[in-house]
Amino acid sequence: MKTVTIGDVLTNEQLELCRALYPDHQRIRDEVIKPNMEAINRNLGQENDAGYLAYAIIYAIESAGSAPS
């Protein structure tokens, strides 16, 4: 099993945009993940599901305690 960090999925700028959109799954998916799927898939070495990645990003934001208040 390959370990993936959030830095493998998003740039710092994209992560900040996700934090600003948090917790809106659809906007994170549509405005951040989908437009960058080609680069994300290339970085991760496989095809990925934008919806699943959006949920994973929300989980990572919550787990890191960096969700906006």
Assess if residue 24 is contained within a domain: yes
Is the pLDDT assigned to residue 69 strictly greater than 80? no
| CB-based burial label for 5 (10 Å; 0-12, 13-18, 19+) | exposed
Contacts of 14 (CB under 8 A, 6+ apart): 32, 36
Assess if residue 69 is contained within a domain: no
Assess if residue 1 is contained within a domain: no
State pLDDT tens for residues 4-60: 889 889 999 999 999 999 999 999 999 999 999 999 999 999 999 999 999 999 999
Residue type, 17: L
Assess if residue 68 is contained within a domain: no
What is the pTM for the complete model shown? 0.91
Residue 65 CB-half CA count within 13 A = 0
- Domains contained in the chain, number: 1
What is the span of the domain harbouring residue 52? Answer: 6-63
